[in-house]
Structure 1
Amino acid sequence: MPNSPGITISPAELRALGIGPGDTVEVTVRSGVLEARAVSRYEDTPLPGLMAVINTARTRS
């Protein structure tokens, strides 16, 4: 989004959320509270795609 303001999150808070620079997050506002959650890059991946990722990881070992 052009000209969007940014927020700063401390490294400890990033670790607590399980996210890092460049990761995708979902942000919502509820009752005046900003909520952020990490979005898995596999969240919308269908089962065959997940199985392919798992099988690829197994062959690397």
Structure 2
Amino acid sequence: MRKKVVTIGNSAGITISPAELHALGLAPGDTVEVTVRAGVLEARAVSRYEDTSLPDLIAVINAARTRP
């Protein structure tokens, strides 16, 4: 699928449709890791908990267990 590069302020971007976001498991505001290799742009979804410490992860899990 071809996309156009668009200007966003002083930067540039490529739009992603809602269907493409859903297929990637992404939503507006999510973080992606962007890499360029041999002229290919790669974007990888980053877990919101990727840099979270183990004690903080346990707290998140416990909080989720106690929700009604």
TM-score over 0.5 for the pair: yes
Moved over 4 A (4+): none
Greater mean alpha carbon deviation, residues 12-21 or residues 36-45:
12-21
Q: TM-score, normalised by structure 1?
A: 0.86
- What secondary structure is seen at the aligned counterpart in 2 of 1:51? helix
Q: TM-score, normalised by structure 2?
A: 0.78
- What secondary structure is seen at the aligned counterpart in 2 of 1:35? strand
Across the aligned residues of Structure 1 and Structure 2, the Cα RMSD in angstroms comes to 1.3
Distance 1:14 1:27 in 2: 15
Aligned residue-pair number: 60
- Structure 1 regions of 5+ residues with no counterpart? none
Distance 2:42 2:19 in 1: 16
How many percent of aligned residue pairs carry the same amino acid?
Answer: 82
Q: Which has the higher contact order (CA 8 A, sep 6+)?
A: 1
Whichever structure has more strand as a proportion of its residues is 2
Whichever structure has more helix as a proportion of its residues is 1
Distance 1:38 1:18 in 2: 8
